[in-house]
Amino acid sequence: MANLPLPAFLSPAPRVAVIRLAGLIAPPAGGLRAGGLSLEAMAGPIARAFAVKRLAGVALAINSPGGSPVQSSLIAGRIRALAEEKKLPVTTFVQDVGASGGYWLACAGDEIFCDESSILGSIGVVSASFGFGRALARLGIERRLYTAGSRKGLLDPFGPEREEDVARLRAVQDDIHESFKAWVRTRRGARLKAPEEELFTGEFWTGRRAVALGLADGIGELRTTMRARHGEKVRFAVFGGPRRPWWARFLPGADTLMATAADTLAERAAYARFGL
């Protein structure tokens, strides 16, 4: 007897859970701030995404210029832990930018796809500050700093820069950079097509070049690629996205009116590094 197709209600469409990871990666915020990407903010959406029934796979929609290496590691680690527990494939789709910590998140996927003009890479560590010592002297302001511990005043922006302080900071940066490189090696392995001296300098590339270097697997858009793999009837469940502060529920429109200027400037500056 020929095999007859099952009725539609007996063969439900497969589902793909989409986890949106967009914005600056930052430690959990408090007060009136909405905050950026952190494990605290994303743990719930990630858990719900992996709990979807009839799940064929998980897709990461990434649009991030980076930020906290700790939160990048925690979020990526949580995704990998659930992927291995549920034995589900995870596919990353980089949108405008997946650089620095954003690329750290991208490597949580088993495969990485991007647009030809996406920005990927920036496998490095950066710290920035200002020195106000001479400005204070011109204004006749005396800096008073009291510490217990000879290195407690490390890189005080109101004092002169000391070579030993810079050397200490660079040692910390090197440690973090090594962790970043080890993660990329683990996740990309033999797919990397260029020497580490080229890939791990902090340089970034367009999507087309990233594919050639082995930092990504191909050019592709989320819905088109997932439908090609799982059929035209595949259904998408989206989790995550911009986080609203608690007070926005009581003050309609206050998200925009009361957004913290420092947060907005920091995020814009992060994207500007990549010409966005």
Q: Where are the domains of the chain?
A: 13-125+184-272
pLDDT of residue 48: 98
Specify whether 152 is catalytic.
yes
Distance, in Å, from the CA atom of 55 to the CA atom of 53, rounded to the nearest integer, reads 5
> Of the listed 64, 73, 100, 118, which one is catalytic?
100
pLDDT of residue 258: 47
pTM: 0.82
pLDDT greater than 80 at residue 27: yes
Pick from 245, 236, 219: which is nearest to 19 by CA?
Answer: 236
Least confident of 92-101, 148-157, 235-244: 148-157
CATH topology of domain 13-125+184-272: 2-enoyl-CoA Hydratase; Chain A, domain 1 (3.90.226)
> Of the listed 117, 127, 152, 233, which one is catalytic?
152
pLDDT of residue 183: 97
Q: Which residues of 177-214 are buried (b: 16+ CB within 10 A; e: fewer)?
A: bebbeebbeebbeeebeeeeeebbeeebbbbeebbebb
pLDDT of residue 4: 52
3-state secondary structure of 245: coil
- Confidence grade of residue 28 (pLDDT, cut at 50, 70, 90): confident
pLDDT greater than 80 at residue 247: no
Chain mean position to CA 231 = 29
Give the helix/strand (H/E) hosting 24.
none
264-to-62, 72, 78, 260 alpha-carbon distances in Å: 19, 20, 27, 6
pLDDT greater than 60 at residue 22: yes
* Mean confidence (pLDDT) of the chain: 85
Specify whether 86 is catalytic.
no
Tens of pLDDT, residues 79-109: 999 999 999 999 999 999 999 999 999 999 9
Pick from 273, 103, 72: which is nearest to 188 by CA?
Answer: 103
Q: What percent of the chain has pLDDT over 90?
A: 60
Which range among 177-186, 251-260, 264-273 has the greatest average pLDDT?
177-186
pLDDT of residue 276: 56
